């Protein structure tokens, strides 16, 4: 045997998949987990319900006061607060990582129907991002 360094190259095919604002590497042959927890969505839903509770208990009397205390734009607070209007089963699906494949925070920040039945219909029609 020679003393020369030998190089071993290992090739593992990977696929990069967006996951909650981050990129996840998926290898072929690995079971995909049933849950697809989107941490960004979960944090936004939690934040929305926290902010709503702060407003309901009187800690802050307006969205502008809340936004100033959180040091963020009041428009953003308003859009996030809308998440508290989601149907309970949709909120539960998000928290359990069972939301529809294409559901993202930017998509939920857009106006959505107030009717829970209509929300269920539209969230089932979500198409994955390109």
How do residues 99-128 score in pLDDT, each as one tens digit? 988 899 999 999 999 999 999 998 876 544
How do residues 40-95 score in pLDDT, each as one tens digit? 999 999 999 999 999 999 999 999 999 999 999 999 999 999 999 999 999 999 99
Instruction: For tokens 């428009």, name the residue.
Output: 75
**Which distant-in-sequence residues (6+ apart) come within 8 Å of 34 by Cβ?**
97, 98
The pLDDT, as a whole number, for residue 127 is: 42
Q: Can you give the pTM of this predicted structure?
A: 0.69
Q: How far apart, in whole angstroms, are the C-alpha atoms of residue 126 and residue 94?
A: 14
- Residue 47 exposure: Cα atoms within 13 Å on the Cβ side: 18
CA 104 to chain centre: 5
């Amino acid at each position: 045997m020679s003393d020369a360094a030998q190089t071993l190259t290992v090739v593992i095919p990977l696929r990069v998949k967006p996951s909650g604002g981050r990129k996840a590497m998926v290898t072929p042959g690995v079971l995909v987990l049933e849950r697809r927890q989107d941490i960004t969505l979960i944090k936004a839903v939690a934040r929305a319900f926290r902010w709503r509770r702060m407003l309901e208990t009187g800690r802050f009397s307006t969205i502008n006061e809340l936004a100033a205390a959180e040091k963020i734009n009041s428009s953003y607070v308003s859009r996030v607060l809308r998440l508290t209007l989601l149907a309970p089963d949709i909120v539960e699906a998000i928290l359990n990582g069972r939301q529809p494949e294409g559901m993202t925070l930017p998509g939920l920040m857009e106006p959505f129907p107030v009717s829970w039945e209509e929300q269920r219909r539209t969230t089932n029609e979500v198409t994955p991002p390109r």
